Amino acid sequence: MIKRTPSVLLIYTGGTIGMIENPLTGVLDVFDFDHLLDEIPELKRFDYRIATYQFDPPIDSSDMEPTNWAKLVRIINYNYRRYDGFVILHGTDTMAYTASALSFMLENLTKPVILTGSQLPIDTLRTDGKENLITAIEIAAAQHADGTALVPEVCIFFENHLMRGNRTSKINAEHFNAFRSFNYPPLARAGVHIRYDEHLILHPDPMLLKPHYRLSTQVAVITLFPGIQESIVNAVLALPDIRAVVLKTYGSGNAPRKEWLMRRLGEASERDIVIVNVTQCSSGQVQMERYKTGVQLQSVGVVSGHDSTPEAAITKLMFLLGQGYSTEEVRRLMHVSLAGEITT
């Protein structure tokens, strides 16, 4: 049997990995992709067909927008049959949002889409970028003996850990292990060998990719804190075009027992605003039935975000509203795992 050459499309959006330091100001600025490739001659040693696509201009991920996510979906959809897998080089700041959004927008995904980046630019001596990129490419090309992808999911690979993208948050602005998936174990660990934990990986039926491009931005986040004022909550809930709010609560989904808060949330729910309860804790899940301070939220129509990351909850709402689902359908689908983003 003829051995097929694995193929990977490397998409460079920007981020520290490709930045260089301005010698005059010391500020990191985006650089172009050719520079990046020059810095990693190791890529030529791969026995793979590696093609590249560059965002022009590359962007700091703080400038990521839903239109950029749609552009990524378009690039992947257009090239879907030509490559075994996709690696997206992305700034770390909003990587978890992009990974979450893509996991919903790429329905029926059967190929790997691996996001990675670095904390230090690629031309820095101690860069973490080379190892991240090289291993991400290997994972994107990895296949079972029958030719199906080992990891048919949107993932983040960072500092030796392959994590489900929509379970991941950026937790460190300094260390190389910048990402964590608190509520779901890593899908693989890279050491001398890349060890995949197959039973944790999604196993989709072979289906046609269904790309989605529309997202709604009529969403907001309210973070509770002791002393939060009615005027603040009301300012958000009274916005004319708001459709959904992620309410970041305490512990297992609790909120202060204030009459005005329950009244405002109840009125908003009745006006068809979807309010989703996500805990401020990094780990664990919302269980509103556990304390009176949670039960009251349930009684005014607040929906559980389960063990969702804030990034996954926000982008899932953007996705569901963008697809035109009714308020009731959005509420129902927040309880359904669409791409492994919650434990049900």
- Shortest gap between Cβ of 178 and ligand ASP (angstroms)? 7
Distance (Å, rounded) from C-alpha 331 to C-alpha 271?
14
Total residues contacting ligand ASP by CB under 6 A comes to 11
- Shortest gap between Cβ of 279 and ligand ASP (angstroms)? 25
Of all helices (H) and strands (E), which one includes residue 221? strand 219-223
**Does residue number 18 form part of the binding site for ligand ASP (CB under 6 A)?**
no
Q: Which of 39, 53, 61, 72 binds ligand ASP (CB under 6 A)?
A: 61
Q: 244-249 and 303-304: which strand pairing?
A: unpaired
Would residue 16 show up in a list of annotated catalytic residues for this protein? yes
Choosing from 5, 13, 16, 127, which is the catalytic residue?
A: 16
- Shortest gap between Cβ of 35 and ligand ASP (angstroms)? 15
Q: 274-279 and 244-249: which strand pairing?
A: parallel
Distance (Å, rounded) from C-alpha 186 to C-alpha 88?
19
**Does residue number 21 form part of the binding site for ligand ASP (CB under 6 A)?**
no
Map residue 54 onto helix, strand or coil.
strand
Q: 296 vs 315, which CB is nearer to ligand ASP?
A: 315
Distance (Å, rounded) from C-alpha 333 to C-alpha 320?
8
Distance (Å, rounded) from C-alpha 81 to C-alpha 328?
36
Q: 28 vs 134, which CB is nearer to ligand ASP?
A: 28
Of all helices (H) and strands (E), which one includes residue 137? helix 129-141
- Shortest gap between Cβ of 297 and ligand ASP (angstroms)? 34
Residues 86-145 that bind ligand ASP (CB under 6 A): 91-93, 117, 119
**Does residue number 15 form part of the binding site for ligand ASP (CB under 6 A)?**
yes
The sign one gets for the Cα dihedral 330, 62, 9, 177 is negative
Q: Which stretch binds ligand ASP (CB under 6 A): 44-52, 56-64, 145-153, 271-279?
A: 56-64
Catalytic residue set? 16
